[in-house]
Chains A and B, each alone.
Chain A
Amino acid sequence: MKQPYERPTLRKLTAGALHKFGPRAGAAPTTALDGVPVAELVARFGSPLFVLSERQLRRSYQAAVRAFGTRYPAVQLAWSYKTNYLNAVCRTFHQEGAWAEVVSGMELEKALLNGVPGPHILFNGPGKRRAELERACEVDAVIHLDNADELHLLLDVAVGRATRPRVALRVNLDAGIYPQWDRFGFNLENGEAWQALSRVVASGQLALVGLHCHIGTYVLQPKAYGTAATKLAAIALRCQRELHTAVQYLDLGGGFPSTNTLKGAYLPAADTVPPLDEYAETITNVLLGAGFPADELPLLVLEAGRALVDDAGSLIGSVLANKRLADGRRATILDFGVNLLFTSFWYDHHISPTREFSDHTEPTVLYGPLCMNIDQLRDSIALPLLAPGDTVVVHKVGAYNMSQWQQFINLRPNVVMVDEAGAVHLIRAAETLEYLQQLERVPAHLAGPRLSS
């Protein structure tokens, strides 16, 4: 019997600066996802392939509920649709009890089709159109007001309605982090937010039910949420005191990180990202001590997205080719690129082989298959000596990739979900050229063959 082959290779030995950290020499293979062999998944559904774990979706959701719910009496998660709006994912979270947080009319309709009652839909977003506001009023979703023009448009929409549209005010504030996100909502520090609140209440046409803020994304400082909660609670108490309006909920938004490592980070995220419990501890301590009567504590709403779904997604891909670059570096071309893995612009994703290799690795540049220079997934990663046809697994890709993916150069692949019993379900079929072109129209003068001169 012949020995397994691994291509001959040399690695220059270099001494780096001394430090106490170091990864293991060889990448541990990922041979199965939720108990289903990777080879079986590829044989059935092809490569590349997104794989979602229903078990992990539920675990992440329950962990978040536990983190906040054991510290505060009234907590509600609203699933951030834009993070991953595949219906199977949304419905899993809704089964667990999540409301929906949407940012467009399309997402609003998706949430309704997924069975979410209108009153459990929070309509965020900085660019709501009149028809979208009318629809939100019709289904009694809560409209999170972003700007003065939107407020006045909604006041116009509200005229003649039997019930007052329910609204929350989006507030941007200085939470002590840089950059300060000030493009969403009304600013607190310059008085704009209070002015808008006063106008909402004074109009008599809108029902103020909540206050909202969203301080950033991948925020690594729990203390920033504490600052935001302090300021939001103070406005709520002022509303009660001066406008005689009790705010029913405080929405601290999303922005909680996952354990993906940001590009340029010195240490892996697993060592630097605070656990969700730290965020929960900070936020709930502030709210419990803010001065609300014990029986009038506002509902705490969180619009978690990435923190709920990132860990549950994996992307299987295959090696198409290896090559050597002009400077001698090894490059590997995979069958997925930034068209499917949008988050590779932000993260150094953890990537595993799917079979055993020797401990020899080679620094490798990972490229996707796109004929575009930007299609680079990793500028340097130590991988075993992969050969064409070998498969890899990219971990923690559940957030944003399945909503920000593109039909650029290649079509989008199958997406499957492994349920808690280990059964595999196709939840989005691979696209076809027919699907891509079904909305195109060819003008009559271009429909025939080429005119000869």
Chain B
Amino acid sequence: MKLKPNIATSEAGFIFNPATGDSFAANPLAADILARAKAGLDAAAIKADILTRYDVAPGQLEKDWDDLLAQLRDFNLLDGSGKWEAGSEEQAMGKAK
């Protein structure tokens, strides 16, 4: 699974799905994660970078990461079946293997 290729994102956190017309506001960290994912970084690299820059415990980040993926899936922004598969975070965030 990965972010649908037609999803448009902006630096300010505006997300637009041209297929449905739905739009979303991402907070700064979510916008940053999506931008990095689109740039090709894998999940491990993005998380490692967040841990160095933000005051957050690894366990909290993992929990929030899962929640972000759940939101992406719920908002129909992920490519593929939309079915969550454990261990497929990197694919989900745009780096298909």
Contacts and interface: CB of A to CB of B under 8 A. Distances in A.
Contacts of A437: none
Interface in B30-61: 30, 32-33, 52-56, 60
Interface string A3-28: 11111111111000000000000000
B88 interface: no
Contact of B71 (A3, A5, A9, A385): A9
Interface residues of B, number: 27
Contacts of B32: 8
Contact of A2 (B33, B54, B67): B54
A12 B67 CA distance: 15
Contacts of B71: 9-10, 324, 328
Interface string A345-385: 00000000000001010000000000000000000000001
Interface string B6-49: 00000000010000001111111110110000000000000000
A9 B68 contact: yes
B55 A9 contact: no
B8 to A, nearest CB: 13
A88 to B, nearest CB: 40
Contact of B64 (A8, A13, A360): A8
Interface in A311-359: 322, 324, 328, 358
A12 B52 CA distance: 29
A262 interface: no
B30 A10 contact: yes
Contact of B23 (A3, A9, A13): A13
Given A10-B72, A11-B24, A358-B28, A5 B55 contact: yes
A12 B24 contact: yes
B70 interface: yes
Interface in A256-308: none
A271 B74 CA distance: 37
Given A5-B56, A9-B26, A324 B70 contact: yes
A11 to B, nearest CB: 5
A12 B22 CA distance: 7
Given A10-B71, A358-B27, A5 B33 contact: no
Contacts of B74: 324, 328
A42 interface: no
A8 B75 contact: no
Contacts of B54: 2-5
Given A7-B64, A324-B67, A13 B27 contact: no
Contact of B29 (A7, A13, A324, A328): A7
Given A2-B53, A3-B54, A3-B55, A9 B30 contact: yes
A235 interface: no
A328 B28 CA distance: 20
A382 to B, nearest CB: 13
A360 B24 CA distance: 12
Contacts of B30: 8-10
A11 B35 CA distance: 17
A2 B55 CA distance: 5
A2 B52 CA distance: 7
Nearest to A384: B27
Contacts of B70: 324, 328
A8 B53 contact: no
Contacts of B52: 2
B68 A8 contact: yes
Nearest to B55: A2
A12 B76 CA distance: 11
Nearest to A13: B23
A137 B41 CA distance: 83
Interface in A1-58: 2-13
Interface string B67-86: 11011101100000000000
A10 B26 contact: yes
Contacts of B68: 7-10
A427 interface: no
B60 A387 contact: yes
Contacts of B29: 5-8
Contact of A11 (B25, B28, B55): B25
Contact of A9 (B22, B27, B56, B60): B27
Given A6-B27, A8-B30, 16 more contacts: A3-B54, A4-B55, A5-B29, A9-B26, A9-B30, A9-B68, A10-B26, A10-B30, A10-B68, A10-B71, A12-B23, A12-B75, A324-B70, A358-B27, A385-B27, A387-B60
Interface of A: 2-13, 322, 324, 328, 358, 360, 385, 387
12 contacts: A2-B52, A3-B53, A5-B55, A6-B27, A9-B68, A9-B71, A12-B22, A13-B24, A13-B25, A324-B71, A358-B27, A358-B28
